Structure 1
Amino acid sequence: MNKRDISTQVAAVTERGSLRPMDLLLNPRSIAFIGASADPSRLGGIAIDHLVKFGFEGKVYPVNPKYQEMHGLQCYPDIESLPEAPDLAVLAIGADMVFPTLVKCHAKGIRAAIIYASGFAEEGEEGARLQQQIADFSREHDMAVCGPNCMGLANLSTGAITAFATIFRDYPPNTGAGHVSLVTQSGNMCAILYVAGYERGIKFNQFINTGNEASIEFAEYLEYLADDPQTHSVIGYLEGLRDGERLIRVSEKFHRAGKALILIKSGETEQGSIAAMSHTASLAGNQAINRAAFRQLGIMQARDPMQLVDVAYLAGMKDRSAGRRIAVASISGAMGGLLTDLLVSAGLEVPVLPQDAQRILKEKAPMLGMVANPIDLTANLYNREGLAAEVFATLVADSNIDTVLVYATGYLLDRIADELIDASRRSGRLFIAIDTGKAKSRDDLERAGIPVFTDVARAVGAMATYLPWREEASRRDHWRALRTEREVATGEKLLLSPRMDEYQTKRLLESHGVPVCAERVARNADEAAAFADMTGFPVALKILSPDIAHKTEAGGVRLHLTNADAVRNAYAEVMDNVRVSQPEAELRGVLVQKMEAGVGELIVGITRDPIFGLSMTVGLGGIFTELFRDVSHRLLPVDETIAHEMLKELRGYKLLTGFRGKPRGDIAAACSAIAAVSTLAMHLDGAINELEINPLLVRAEGDGVVALDALLSTTPVDSNS
């Protein structure tokens, strides 16, 4: 097995003791197996068998007092008798023996360990206690501990396989260095993704199963791989994440290094928002925020193992420019039409070629079937030399085309392979081929940077994830720069009353640039009537209480009141209703507001995600929010540019753009108000659970916006912090 010389992996480091524990864990030169087995089918023997079979060039020390030799290696009775402190210890022993053995490893000078055993936090209170022991010990003594309850690791570029994965027998590690690393929280998924990638032709570098993550969390492995020059991209499977802030930092490292990070995220749930005060919280469930966060951070998200490895395969062609606007060139008109339908349904674009481009195609190749896009190459590829080259040259000359998708099977793909390669090389544009036959040129195409798919649906599925990721790089740059700028500019955090009512919340919004409606606080019916007269009819009357988030449900709202008597009667009604429905609520009177009209309504809300922190939800009000959940999400900060992107993502956005003769809404004012909410929320970070404007009324263009209702849920502030 041809592997890199291990010494090159440690660069200029001459003493292993000066390496980080993570280096020893993922790139060991010597490995001890505690609880080693002579049986290659048992847990303590599988990995040793791999090391011997695949020619690991480092030292391997089996530890088991029952044997003097196993797998052709000298066996040692205990840790203390080892001739040196190895880089890594693998603990293939029961859960009850793990902690005392870990202590012995540390005493020997071992700084990294892998724990196979289950029976820890996944098993209840006692298991959680044992796992906490491991976590505390590893942190105190700066040991890198993988697991417990994990399959283990494998550096497939050096053959340092410590995983008890039998799949390596059927799918042996690649010869030479691999460049894709695999990280999963599930051992079975690690095996599944490895096999899927292997069959897709992916060559792996690191194979990492994190297990219970007592010592090292998922994002820490990613951080290591972001800095690893051997790893060019990472794929993985994630169920739960503990450190969102670290993942944000890691994503920046991946971006700077030009590396792709592609994950399957499962275990998402909406249940955490069931008891939330605001509508925003029910809309911004964990699943929605995770997806929005991944998109902002540049983490591609796949839905299944096949799509994951297909996207990783595409990501290996990063030296070509690419985007979502696709030209389809097909030997079959029917397949060209089907591909167009699939691409558009997946959110990609198949733009109609300009008339000049169509004319050129007709002049150069009058026998073509269709030239508008898709382009029907027909069977003339058999008869006309250079036809494909002429078509490709015309397509890449069009600035409205980012990517070229070519469908040509078997012999026909072989016939145009050289033209494909030349067009891709000359243009620097990404060409993708689909071959449902058995073309002999596949390897040549791939070496030239042209990915080849054999399944139409898989090709489109991978493109639908990869191409937008390539196109949205500038947006991610904008958000990263904004985040850095706002973190510096935010300064001292604001301190708030722990029980903010609607009136107080609106004053806070107003002070940060959010327009609010004309309103007064009334303590009795006569005050309410007098204020209504001053404000001008019609008016709305709403209960004012820090304890009542949903006023309508409590019977605390009356609208379209047209005279003083109606206001007095409404005051009595809402007070009576609320005292019955919310008898414990603190009542601070009512708000008297002037009724407003506009083009449309928005909901703008901030919630605190337990992983990623403050996030924003923007949606159209009314049935679009309640029924269709027509919303967009972002991690903070959000400025006017990002706010406009969020609005344009809404299915109902056209209602604000002069749809069917309605006045156009003041979109610029709406974006300004949304950005102001973001700025306020960042000043409140640490003191805010939820902040919501519902609705933010959008008036006609030039007339601005106005917040009609708002709520703020605060968190207790530690006076000693």
Structure 2
Amino acid sequence: MARPSLAQAIFEPRGIALIGASDEKGRNNSRPQQYLKKHGYKGKIYPINPKRKSVYRVKAYPSVTDVPGPVDHAFIMTGPNVVPAVMRDCAKAKVKVATIFTADFAEAGADGVKLQAEVVAEAKKGGVRVIGPNCMGVYNMDPPAMISPNTVLQLPKIFKGNIGVISQSGSLTGTFLSRGQHRGMGFSKMVSIGNECDLSVAEVGEMLIDDPKTECILLFLETIRHEPAFTAMVRRAFKVGKPVIVYKLGRSEAAAEFTASHTGAIAGTDSAVEAYFHHHGVVRVDQFETLLEMPNLLLGRSPRPGHRVSVITTTGGGGGMAVDRLGVAGLTAAPLPDKAVARIEAEGGLISNGPLLDLTYKGATKENTDRVLNEVMNSKANDAAVMVIGSSAQFNPEVSVRSLIKFAGQDKPLGGFLVPEAAESGRLLTEAGVPCFRTPENCADAMRAFLRWHKPKPTPRSPAIDLKPARAAIGNEGHRSLDERQCRTVFGKLGIKQVAAAFAKTVDSATKAGDAVGFPCVAKVVSKDILHKTEAGGVLLGIKNARELASGLKAMESRIGRELPDAKIEGYLIQSMVKGLAEVLVGYRLDDLVGPTVVLSAGGVMSELYGDAAVRLAPVNRKTAFEMIEEVTGLAPIRGYRGMPKGDLDAIADTLVAISQLAFVKRPKLTEAEINPLIVKEEGKGAVAADGLIVLQ
């Protein structure tokens, strides 16, 4: 008999060995055998326990090597220290895949890392693929194979569906099932991936893409491992029409480790991950509940970016909550055009038009609801719609949701927000493929996620400029950072315009540099050991004359000598004072998870405080650069807000494109580069870099 494919061994194994099986009630290792039988697994079950002759009246074997029939899938529940030996036995028995439930591996410290490496080595040597360790197993709904001790499998029945799940949290696989089934949702396959010592989210995701029973993929992530393979998987999923929807932890984590520059503080890992998902066509949600409703919002639809949502309601308070939360999410509640309202009224309909489309008490009839929904769904004045349903959803479910179901199959997204607890209405909507929101926050999160969804963006394969001069300027510097004089050279080679400056080796020679640049001027210390000059007292502003320059530099030299005695001062940079309309920060950072990123924010020393930044994967083109400029709220004044003079946005875009080309510099590897501030002048007059930072790996 031919050996099964890896996917078949994982999801449809002919035989399963439960290694460490027991029939002691209440123990984790007693449950998988019960659940496999309970939910209709048709293959062979082989309990493995050298101390038992049988487990639940099924013959037990001392080792997987003693099993008479083929074992495609082993589920390991032994103590951690014996897992390497168990893996050797699996290799001898020609087991295709082993899922390790056992914990205390890489997640438990240095000893666990070493033990996990032993397991991986044995598995590779023997040709066994591994899921886990520290995972809750695999669930296949059709044909049934529930290879897990998760107590959610005490449910009398597991619903079949078209949604695949991969979770880096084991226990949350149970949450997916319990919350999903409560609303009438079914799944196709579910994998708790654990530590990903071998099989990854990306590789299992590829299997779900190939699975005809899976139409949508949900991911619960704590991190992104194997990024190139993950990227290929999510882009392929979009291409074949299987949306990938992600809930990823980490939005609130302080980016303390990224303190080498202001850019690191702003573009910390979560901001970079957000940019990564956006770039590759992945939908990210803020709430777990939203994760469960997004499939019905996305399936059968293509991205249609926008921000206008029409809210139809039978309850003023419920509708008001929806409008409020949509606004918080950055969306606009869209009224109907006057002509649409006139058509409704001409047919005897009723509606109170505005940000909230209130049907009113008299207008809450099927005929009037249908009229309004027809106008909303055919209007070009909105990008999506939400129907808010009040108490009738609880007590008259079929009547309250029938209009919503009737109009929901269109390309324009339409969802329902049930204000009361209305399980039956929710079930009817779910079965009809209509997203059903339980809270206004959940509703707004889903609409925001859908309307931000884009098709994957192309990733440039070659630089937009000649990088040889910049590479030569960077050199093979052995120091952790370049000094500002070197940074100016690199930025100049990238084509970035800079403030006029002169370098002085000593305090005594600085006055000549001041005369060359002109007063008033700025003086800054030049040192590879001082990344943030302002905090170190290494910046003097508004120097009026040579005498003031000399005395100021002597005081600076003395202060740095006291407070940073190990810092080597290379000299001083004397710059002309330049005024502009605004200061912005333009930065580049090599993110540990997703690679090169570029960041834009309002500049200056306060740039970290506000978190008002746009982040994208690098490199970027001019179109993306202008999107970033539009995204930063703090740049509204120089975008011409309320008649204010416009800044040179073209110059900002050019600088973003230029600094993002550092993504193509592979050696030496740059971890960060920053211009803060970039002084932006009036439209048509350019922008100049006034301060720079480059950090090497």
Alignment counterpart, residue 555 of structure 2, candidates 570, 573, 577: 573
Determine the C-alpha separation between the residues in 1 that align with 2:54 and 2:178.
33
Structure 2 partner of 1:57? 42
Root-mean-square deviation (CA, aligned residues, Å) is 3.1
One-letter identity of the residue aligned with 1:554: A
Determine the C-alpha separation between the residues in 2 that align with 1:634 and 1:678.
10
Alignment counterpart, residue 466 of structure 1, candidates 443, 446, 465: 446
Equivalent residues of 2:132, 2:194 under 8 A apart? yes
Structure 2 partner of 1:599? 581
Equivalent residues of 1:630, 1:651 under 8 A apart? yes
Equivalent residues of 2:101, 2:133 under 8 A apart? yes
Structure 2 partner of 1:711? 693
1:63-78 aligned at under 5 Å gives the runs: 63-71=48-56, 73-78=58-63
Post-superposition offset of 1:49 = 1.5
Equivalent residues of 2:303, 2:453 under 8 A apart? no
C-alpha change, 1:445 and 1:159, in structure 2 (3 Å) is: closer
Equivalent residues of 1:111, 1:144 under 8 A apart? yes
Post-superposition offset of 1:520 = 1.4
1:108-119 aligned at under 5 Å gives the runs: 108-119=93-104
SS at match of 2:496: coil
Structure 2 partner of 1:690? 672
Equivalent residues of 2:255, 2:264 under 8 A apart? no
Post-superposition offset of 1:322 = 8.2
C-alpha change, 1:695 and 1:64, in structure 2 (3 Å) is: same
Post-superposition offset of 1:625 = 1.2
Determine the C-alpha separation between the residues in 1 that align with 2:103 and 2:418.
45
Determine the C-alpha separation between the residues in 2 that align with 1:180 and 1:62.
31
Determine the C-alpha separation between the residues in 1 that align with 2:24 and 2:575.
80
Post-superposition offset of 1:187 = 2.4
C-alpha change, 1:681 and 1:517, in structure 2 (3 Å) is: farther
Determine the C-alpha separation between the residues in 2 that align with 1:132 and 1:293.
30
Determine the C-alpha separation between the residues in 1 that align with 2:222 and 2:644.
46
Identity value in percent = 28
Determine the C-alpha separation between the residues in 1 that align with 2:501 and 2:670.
25
Post-superposition offset of 1:600 = 0.4
Equivalent residues of 1:264, 1:308 under 8 A apart? yes
Structure 2 partner of 1:135? 120
Determine the C-alpha separation between the residues in 2 that align with 1:508 and 1:581.
29
Determine the C-alpha separation between the residues in 1 that align with 2:37 and 2:423.
38
Post-superposition offset of 1:481 = 0.8
Post-superposition offset of 1:52 = 1.8
Using the TM superposition, name which of 40-49 and 699-708 deviates more: 40-49
1:482 aligns with 2:456: no
Determine the C-alpha separation between the residues in 2 that align with 1:509 and 1:153.
52
SS at match of 1:167: helix
Equivalent residues of 2:63, 2:89 under 8 A apart? no
Using the TM superposition, name which of 146-155 and 34-43 deviates more: 34-43
One-letter identity of the residue aligned with 1:214: C
Determine the C-alpha separation between the residues in 2 that align with 1:390 and 1:562.
73
Determine the C-alpha separation between the residues in 1 that align with 2:309 and 2:188.
32
Equivalent residues of 2:300, 2:411 under 8 A apart? no
Structure 1 partner of 2:241? 258
**1:575-596 deviation per Cα after TM superposition (whole angstroms, max 9, x unaligned):** 3333333333332221111110
- Is there any run of 5+ residues in structure 1 with no aligned partner, and where? 1-13, 716-721
Determine the C-alpha separation between the residues in 2 that align with 1:305 and 1:358.
37
1:555 aligns with 2:544: no
Determine the C-alpha separation between the residues in 2 that align with 1:488 and 1:623.
30
1:403 aligns with 2:384: yes
Alignment counterpart, residue 450 of structure 1, candidates 434, 437, 442: 434
C-alpha change, 1:189 and 1:710, in structure 2 (3 Å) is: same
**1:667-704 deviation per Cα after TM superposition (whole angstroms, max 9, x unaligned):** 12101111110013433565212111010111111111
Equivalent residues of 1:268, 1:287 under 8 A apart? yes
Equivalent residues of 1:322, 1:430 under 8 A apart? no
Equivalent residues of 1:302, 1:465 under 8 A apart? yes
C-alpha change, 1:401 and 1:165, in structure 2 (3 Å) is: same
1:181 aligns with 2:164: yes
1:494 aligns with 2:471: yes
C-alpha change, 1:614 and 1:327, in structure 2 (3 Å) is: same
Determine the C-alpha separation between the residues in 1 that align with 2:441 and 2:465.
40
Equivalent residues of 1:314, 1:462 under 8 A apart? no
Post-superposition offset of 1:392 = 2.3
Post-superposition offset of 1:350 = 0.9
Structure 1 partner of 2:66? 81
Post-superposition offset of 1:180 = 1.6
Alignment counterpart, residue 351 of structure 1, candidates 297, 319, 334: 334
Determine the C-alpha separation between the residues in 2 that align with 1:461 and 1:250.
30
One-letter identity of the residue aligned with 2:695: S
Equivalent residues of 2:501, 2:575 under 8 A apart? yes
Structure 2 partner of 1:10? none
Structure 2 partner of 1:521? 503
Structure 1 partner of 2:277? 294
Structure 1 partner of 2:213? 230
Structure 2 partner of 1:587? 569
C-alpha change, 1:98 and 1:446, in structure 2 (3 Å) is: closer
**1:558-617 deviation per Cα after TM superposition (whole angstroms, max 9, x unaligned):** 222233333333343333333333333332221111110001011111222221122222
Post-superposition offset of 1:626 = 3.8
Determine the C-alpha separation between the residues in 2 that align with 1:157 and 1:170.
16
Equivalent residues of 1:541, 1:559 under 8 A apart? yes
Equivalent residues of 1:311, 1:465 under 8 A apart? no
Structure 2 partner of 1:48? 33
User: What TM-score do you get using the length of structure 1 for normalisation?
Assistant: 0.87
Post-superposition offset of 1:68 = 4.8
Using the TM superposition, name which of 410-419 and 220-229 deviates more: 410-419
Post-superposition offset of 1:163 = 0.5
Post-superposition offset of 1:660 = 5.3
One-letter identity of the residue aligned with 2:308: R
Alignment counterpart, residue 387 of structure 1, candidates 339, 350, 368: 368
SS at match of 1:516: coil
**1:693-716 deviation per Cα after TM superposition (whole angstroms, max 9, x unaligned):** 01011111111110000011113x
C-alpha change, 1:156 and 1:489, in structure 2 (3 Å) is: farther
SS at match of 2:610: coil
Post-superposition offset of 1:87 = 0.7
SS at match of 2:382: coil
C-alpha change, 1:412 and 1:342, in structure 2 (3 Å) is: farther
Determine the C-alpha separation between the residues in 2 that align with 1:487 and 1:161.
52
SS at match of 1:655: helix
Equivalent residues of 1:494, 1:684 under 8 A apart? no
Post-superposition offset of 1:525 = 4.4
Using the TM superposition, name which of 596-605 and 118-127 deviates more: 118-127
Determine the C-alpha separation between the residues in 2 that align with 1:596 and 1:255.
48
C-alpha change, 1:442 and 1:33, in structure 2 (3 Å) is: closer
User: What TM-score do you get using the length of structure 2 for normalisation?
Assistant: 0.90
Determine the C-alpha separation between the residues in 2 that align with 1:26 and 1:181.
12
**1:421-443 deviation per Cα after TM superposition (whole angstroms, max 9, x unaligned):** 44445x54332233446697766
Equivalent residues of 2:469, 2:493 under 8 A apart? no
1:635 aligns with 2:617: yes
1:247 aligns with 2:234: no
- Is there any run of 5+ residues in structure 2 with no aligned partner, and where? none
Determine the C-alpha separation between the residues in 2 that align with 1:271 and 1:386.
53
1:16 aligns with 2:3: yes
One-letter identity of the residue aligned with 2:3: R
**1:29-66 deviation per Cα after TM superposition (whole angstroms, max 9, x unaligned):** 22122233244643333111222222212222223345
Post-superposition offset of 1:115 = 1.9
